[in-house]
Structure formats: C-alpha cells, structure tokens
Structure 1
Amino acid sequence: MMTVSRTPLRVSFFGGGTDYPEYFARARGAVLGMAINQYVYVAALRLTNILDYRYRISYSKMEQVAALDAIEHPVVRETLRDHGYTAPLDISIMADLPARSGLGSSSSFTVGFVNLLFELQGRRATKMDLAREAVRVERDLLGENVGVQDQHHAAFGGLNRFDFEGGRTRISPVQMTAPCQEALTGSLFLVYTGVTRFASATLDEQMAKTKSGASDKDLSHLLALVDQSHSVLEGQDPARLLTEFGAMLHEGWETKKRLSSKVSNPQIDALYDRARAAGALGGKLCGAGAGGFLLMLVPPERQAGFRAGLGETSIIPIGLDTMGATILRG
C-alpha cells in the first residue's frame, strides 16, 4: 500500500530573521505567518527485494540506486540513515508550486518526509515533534543555514505566531473573527518574479550581520511588527485590518531589505512597485530574497485593476491551510 504525506507551504508576514538560533539565543525571536493551501506531497511505496535497485526517488530528477549511500537527495539519504529505516522504497516527491521560490518548500518537504517515516515505522509524533525533528535534520544532520519558522508553519498549519526564547518555542494561534479572516485570506496573492534561487546563497551576508549584531536594530523593528500585527489581526473591523496590515507589510519589506544587499534587486523592486501602483496596499518578497514570489495584499475592490495592471505576470490567489502536516488516507 502506498503512503502519502501532504504538508503545506507557508507565507511569513513578520519577524523573519529573528527565527535563527544565532539571534534568539541572545534575544527574543518571534514570527507571524500562515500555512497556505498549496502543498508538498511525498508518496512512498514499499518495494520487494527481488528488484535490481533498492531505492527509486522521483523529484526534479530520477534516482534509481542499489544502496543508501548512493542516494543523492540529502534529506532522503540522511533521514533514512538517521532513522534506521532499511526497507526498499519507491519515493515520489510532488509540489503545487516550484521549489526555491521563498515559500518554505525545503522545510515543508523535510517535515513531510519525517512524517512519512514515522508513519512507515508505526511511530506516533505530535506536530511539535515533527517541527523539531525537521529542524534537527536540516541544521544538525545537513548543516544547513536555516531558521526554524518554516518547519513549525508546515507542521502545525493555520495562522500562528511562534515565539522563540532560548530552547523554548511557544505557539499562539491568531484569534480572528470570521469576517476579518475572510477579508485577509481573500486579499492575498502570490506574484511570481520568474526567478528561483537557493536561499542559502542569499543568506551569507545576512547571517554575518546577525551574528555581529549589525542588524539588531532592524530585527528589533521586525519583532515589534509581530506584536503590532498580531493586535491588528485580532481586531473587529475587516476594512481597517486590510489598510493597517497592508501598510505594515510595506514597512516590513522596507526593513527586510536592509538585512542584506542580496534580499532584493532592481527587477524585483520594479515588479513590487508595479503591484502597488496597480492597487496592492503592501507586500513583501517571500523567503530569504533574491527571487521567488512576492506576497501582495489587495482588497477585493482593487483586484480587477490589480490583475489588469500586472498583465501577463503570474498571479496566484492563496487561502489558509488549517491541517498542517497530514498523512492522507484512502
């Protein structure tokens, strides 16, 4: 029988950069964002021992190998090794949106693959277990320079605030009224820049500034926006929420660009300016920067003009995922 995991991608609204242990080990870190209704799927089928290969892995390339050490996909290879799973497998990896586009797909995949292995091994895991194990895989096993918010958004789903203080993580679901939540989720769009990139390639300068304390003022401001936006989202007036939240997104984007010279470029800045001129109240580039998707907030009455103003640019409306990491059954 085939086992399938489904894990949401995410958009981060505020606080990105404060979710790195290099920062919150010495200061409070917090992020606010939401899991979206776009997903990474991982399917696994147990194989018999009579085939001339032991692992078949399908993603942007095809691997068919006889030994664990020959697997090129680092997350698959090291997670199988670390969990001691030795049965032969056929693994297929699929996603609704392209990888390396700022939506946390790498961490979403890691959470989903860990969830899949727990299921195959008959082990129980909470959402927090999945998030922490994915962080361990990425940071400790693979030595990747990643923050810890993406794994938590992917595991838990929903619209949440996560606070990071030392070794402790606290989750606070944002308490919104139905009209306010509908106004927000009905006004969020992804605008594709046409550029994919490896997040790690854009982070060297940002992490150097974080470790030295040179970005502390900007990171503190992003942290303050987490507190302010949390309060705005839990208000009662949908129209006011959109106006204030859009302005905060713009303010946060201007701050984020100061974290590294590699966050944006003239092409991205021009597309962002076009989106605002077409009716968006504010937005930001998703993820570490340098490419992927812009997230733009556009109230319903401005959406027709927004689409017309961006012409042939790919625009994707997004909604809220509330389930988080899930094993799909029958």
Structure 2
Amino acid sequence: MKPSTAITASAPSRIDLAGGTLDIWPISLLVPDAVTVNLAIELRAEVTLEPMGERKLIARSRDRGKQATRRLPLRREDAHGPLGLLIRLVAAFEPERGLKLTSCAAAPAGAGLGGSSTLAMATGAALARWTGRRLAPRDLLQRVMNVETVELGVPTGNQDYLAAQHGGLSAYQHGPDGTRRKPIEIPRGLSERLVLAYTGQPRHSGFSNWEMYRRFVEGERVTVRRMESIARIARELQDALTDGDLDAAGKLIGEEGRLRYSLAPSVATDALRHADRAARKAGALGVKVCGAGGGGCLVAFAAAGRTESVARAIEATGASLLPVKIARRGLRVTAP
C-alpha cells in the first residue's frame, strides 16, 4: 500500500485492577491459575501518519514536545533518544516511503496506566495499515510487545497491549496456550465508584517489574506466596465484578494494593502512601497503585456515596485527578 492521505490510529489506556505482573512470562505460567483484571479507559493515545516526498522519518510527540528526524532505511543505532520506541516501531515495519509520524498521549508519561504500550499499539496498527501488512491481532500484539521489550531492556507483560486492543472490562486468563480474554459485563455504577489520581511523580515500570520478576524467578518464597495470593485475589475480583458486587470488588482491590506494596521496596513512595491513607480515611473501600508502582497513579474504589469525599481527600495531598470514562472499544484505525 502506498497511502496518499493520512492514517490515524488510537487506543485506550487501562487501570489494572488486580493481577498485574502475573502477565509477564514465565510468571504467567508458573503461578497457578494466573489472572489479570483490567479496565480500559478513554485516556487514549493517538498516532497520525502522513506521507512525505523525502525518504525520511519525522517523528513528533505533541504531548512531550519532542521531535526526531531520521533517514530511511532506519538502522539499529537510529533508535535512541526520547522517541526511541516510535523509531524502533517504524524500523520494524520497514516503510519504503517517507512519512511524518505525530503522536499524542492523553495519559501522563510514567503514570502506570500502560501509556507507552497503548501508544505502541496505536503506532503498530497505523504502520501495519501504512505498509500493507495484514497482521492478525495476536501477531500485531506480539510484534509491538517485542519491540517495546527491546526498548526497555527488561521483560514486559501483555495486559497493556491487550487492553489497548480490546477495550472494555476484561479478565485475562494466562495458561500454557497463551492468554485468553474473558470479557466482563461492566457493572452499573462502576466508573462512578472509581477515583483515579496522578501523584505527579513519573515512574519507570520496567525497573519495578524487573525487581519483582527477579525475586520470583529466583524462588524467593515470600514473593512466590504473595504472587499466588495476588492471583487468588484477581480470580475473586473477576467473580465479584461478574456478579455486580461492587463492595466486594472494592475490598479485593484494596487487598491487592496492600500486597503489592510488599512485593518490592520500589513500589511505594511517600506521595502514594499519603494519598492512599487519605483515600481510605475518606471512605475508600480499597486503594492500589497503578502498574508497577514507584510513582505514577493510584486508583481508589469508594464506598457508595463517598466518591466525592475520596476525590477531595486525594486531591488535598497534591495529586491531580484524572477522568474515569470507560473505553468500551479498543484499537481504532481510520484510513482511506
């Protein structure tokens, strides 16, 4: 395909409700009945590709205020700098024509909402259409995840890419044949009970996840037991959400949050703990960090009628509130 007009793709970010880190291979296989539950939200990443006459790439991130220019064909050493992931993705699809790539991510960088993976999925989908590659959804996800793994230099899980691809509320069940998605009907009133806040301290998910990963694969007994407990909580959360039992769901999210703090010293920060305590005192049934922790966002599940109080309490700690609008649709591509 040689597009003469722009191609645009977008994908939602996610709130991981329970079972994060269990989506990283081989933890996903070694923890029995591992499940990850997440909710896609309309903090979308959008990518637009436009044709250029010159045989080069111009990559521009509107939200980060960064731009990079590279000659085509791309070389391995070209993938450096703050837009290195975008450059690696373009290289993986080997475009023949020059292009301008413009990205914009609604989720704050380093927020723990899977923003970089969401952006990568949107970029990969746009590039597949641009180059005429007919990739099955599973193959697109695998290619994008592999490219980001190289960029991070540490193992990555698959839940961020899956949420970006599918949207909605989902339980991802990990097993010997890979990951199977089980959609969950969104319970009435779910989004009204969630408070999402950004502490203002960005984090690097790869580093926190790597610490948990290392402890697990080295057989540290306490970490293994805690991972197994997180898997149990995720299964119970899947059941609670399926049954529409929001109070039970909120308490399970809080149980997962307390366990996650204990997985590695890098998970909790003073800002996260301050906001956590304030939210619980104001009426949150449960609070947990988003993603691997170490900064970024936290999500609180308020008791019925306490959402505004919880939101005010968290905001008073200096955190910024983010909107929780459920993304019922995942990856979108618009092209001629």
Task: Give the TM-score, by structure 2 length.
Answer: 0.88
The answer to whether the 8 A contact 1:5-1:326 is kept is yes
**Would the alpha carbon gap of residues 280 and 78 (structure 1) be closer, same or farther in structure 2, given more than 3 Å must change?**
same
- Comparing 85-94 with 133-142, which one deviates more in the overlay? 133-142
- 2:38 maps to which residue? 33
| Residue 196 of structure 2 corresponds to residue 203 of structure 1 | no
Cα RMSD (Å):
2.1
Equivalent AA in structure 2 for residue 108 of structure 1: T
Contact between 1:26 and 1:166, CA under 8 Å: does it hold in 2? no
Aligned equivalent of 1:220, options 222, 228, 233: 228
- Amino acid aligned to 2:160: D
Matches within 5 A, 1:201-280: 201-214=207-220, 215-236=223-244, 241-280=245-284
Q: CA deviation at 1:167?
A: 4.5
Whole-Å separation in 1 of the counterparts to 2:108 and 2:25: 27
Relative to structure 1, the CA distance from residue 226 to residue 191 in structure 2 (aligned partners, 3 Å threshold; closer, same or farther) is same
Using the TM superposition, give the Cα deviation of residue 274 of structure 1 relative to its aligned residue in structure 2, in angstroms: 0.6
Pair 1:104 & 2:114 matched: yes
Q: Describe the SS at the equivalent of 2:283.
A: coil
Pairing partner for 1:9 from 6, 10, 13: 13
User: How far, CA to CA, are the matches of 1:234 and 1:71 in structure 2?
Assistant: 43
Distance 1:196 1:124 in 2: 36
The alpha carbon displacement at 1:218 in A equals 0.6
Q: CA distance change for structure 1 residues 281 and 46 in 2, over 3 Å: closer, same or farther?
A: same
Q: Tell which deviates more after alignment, 65-74 or 273-282.
A: 65-74
Shift of 1:71: 4.8
Deviations 1:201-260 (A, max 9, x none): 323321211111221101111111121111111115xxxx22211111110011111211
Runs of 4+ in 1 over 6 A off after TM superposition: none
Question: Quick check: 62-71 or 261-270, which moved more?
Answer: 62-71
Long gaps (5+) in structure 2: none
Cα gap change, 1:140 to 1:26, in 2 (>3 Å): farther
> Quick one: distance in 1 between partners of 2:71 and 2:213?
39
Question: What is the one-letter code of the residue matched to 2:231?
Answer: L
Q: Deviations over 1:160-219 (max 9, x none)?
A: 11112234221111135xxxx231122112111110021123233212111112211011
Matched-pair contact (CA < 8 Å) for 1:15–1:223: yes
Say whether 1:63 aligns with 2:71: no
CA distance in 2 between partners of 1:251 and 1:230 (Å) = 14
Contact conserved, 1:74 with 1:142, CA < 8 A, in 2? no
Q: Which amino acid aligns with 1:242?
A: L
Residue 185 of structure 1 corresponds to: 191
Letter in 2 for 1:115: A
**Offset from partner CA, 1:283-320 (integer Å, 9 cap, x none):** 21101111111111124511232233333642223021
Kindly indicate whether the alpha-carbon contact (under 8 Å) linking 1:195 and 1:291 is maintained by their aligned counterparts in 2: yes
CA contact (8 A) 2:200 2:296 kept: yes
CA distance in 1, matches of 2:175, 2:145: 16
The CA deviation at 1:140 is: 5.6
> Does the alignment pair 1:326 with 2:326?
no
Unaligned runs of 5+ in 1: none
Q: Deviations along 1:263-286, whole A, 9 cap, x unmatched?
A: 002331111101111222212110
**For 1:233 and 1:25, how far apart are their aligned partners in 2?**
24
Q: Is the partner of 1:162 in helix, strand or coil?
A: strand
Alpha-carbon displacement from aligned partner over 1:60-94 (angstroms, at most 9, x marks no partner): 21112334233533333333223222311111110
Q: Deviations over 1:133-153 (max 9, x none)?
A: 222222367643211111111
Provide the C-alpha distance between the structure 1 equivalents of 2:11 and 2:132, rounded to a whole number of angstroms.
19
**In 1, are the aligned partners of 2:195 and 2:310 still within 8 Å (CA)?**
no
**Aligned counterparts of 2:152 and 2:92: Cα–Cα separation in 1:** 11
The equivalent position to 1:119 in structure 2, one of 117, 126, 129, is 129
- Between the aligned partners of 1:308 and 1:66, the Cα distance in structure 2 is 50
Distance 1:142 1:13 in 2: 23
CA apart distance, 1:157: 1.0
Q: How many residues align?
A: 319
Tell me what 1:165 maps to: 175
- Using structure 1 for the length normalisation, give the TM-score: 0.90
